[in-house]
Amino acid sequence: MANNATVTGRTISFTVPGRFSMKGTLDGRNLLERVEAVYTNPVLGDMPMEVTYSEYKDFGDVQFPMRIRQSAGGFPSVDLVVGEVRPNTVADIQVPDNIRQAVTPYARIVTEQPAPGVWYLAGGSHHSVVIEMKDHAVVVEGPLNDERSTAVLAEARKLVPGKPIRYVINSHHHFDHSGGLRAFAAEGVTVITHESSRAFFERALAAPATMTPDLQAKSRWAPSVEGVRDRRTLTDGARTVEIHLMANSTHCDGLLMVYLPKERLLIEADAYTPAPPNAPPPTLVNPLSVNLDDNIKRLGLGVDQILPLHGRIVPLTELTKAIGRQ
């Protein structure tokens, strides 16, 4: 009623301006059968979502679906089989204070400089790295959303004034690590990702975002995406940036890490997140961290410090201690 819904047969449709469009369909018993929605996703632009409800049963005059399926962006995401329904039961669910009061400071940037011309942009849950080249700059990781990447872009331009940002290197396709790539594409920055994700990002970065127009939707730039297989090197003659596939990682296919051989710095995402200072060693060894160390050895990388895209800068010895190899 608030959004002037229209009814066609057993389907009701409405749009909440600036947020989403919604369409719900009832079955022959006037029970909700399907909900179709479109809203803006930081990676996909306009993202379709569909939920179906089936196998209704009567629980004390309350009809409830025993099967609920959901898809997002055309891919199945949830399939629930309901085991029990208790109508009108009091549910005293307390949200923890740290969750209820949490505020994600997307635009907060805290900068460290582990080497000349290399800056570590932290300050939130997901970090980026800015690398100065002779006539341009390279950013590693455009995470989360427009707000975070806009802050990263602004900080990169402040740190490397007068030089264009030519590349943003994407560690992997997971949405928290790629949600800001549309902001980079809107600035004409070329995205470097693993070859297995290239076609996906070519489509995603070109997709419309009409529900909540983002920077890319307002831009006239056609996205530029380049793929890496096992290795790629960027160099200006003075500084070298190596991009390597993290082989045999179970986190995802196509996980990339970035190595600066002159500075002996390694940039990685999700394989190793250092514990806080002086924390006891983990009781369980993370197999992703073991795989990271295996790849460092396989490639013969001389690493002094790790710049993780979660956590804090640490020496390589923190990794080897965490996996029991020190």
Provide the pLDDT for residue 282: 83
Per-residue model confidence as pLDDT tens digits over 173-207: 999 999 999 999 999 999 999 999 999 999 999 99
Per-residue model confidence as pLDDT tens digits over 137-153: 999 999 999 999 999 99
Distances (CA, A) of 104 to 42, 84, 98, 185: 16, 36, 12, 23
3-class SS at 115? Answer: strand
H or E stretch at 184? helix 181-186
The amino acid occupying position 317 is: T
Residue spans per domain, the chain: 6-84, 110-322
Least Cα distance to 109 among 150, 68, 74, 141 occurs for 150
Provide the pLDDT for residue 326: 77
Per CATH, the number for 110-322 is 3.60.15.10
Distances (CA, A) of 52 to 27, 34, 136: 11, 4, 50
pTM for the whole structure? 0.91
* The two structure tokens encoding residue 234: 């960027």
Distances (CA, A) of 203 to 46, 187, 198, 207: 12, 17, 9, 6
What is the pLDDT of the chain when averaged over all its residues? 96
Provide the pLDDT for residue 58: 94
Low-confidence ranges of the chain (pLDDT < 50): none
CB 274 within 8 A of CB 314: yes
Provide the pLDDT for residue 182: 98
Provide the pLDDT for residue 16: 96
Backbone torsions φ then ψ of 23, nearest 5 degrees: -140, 125
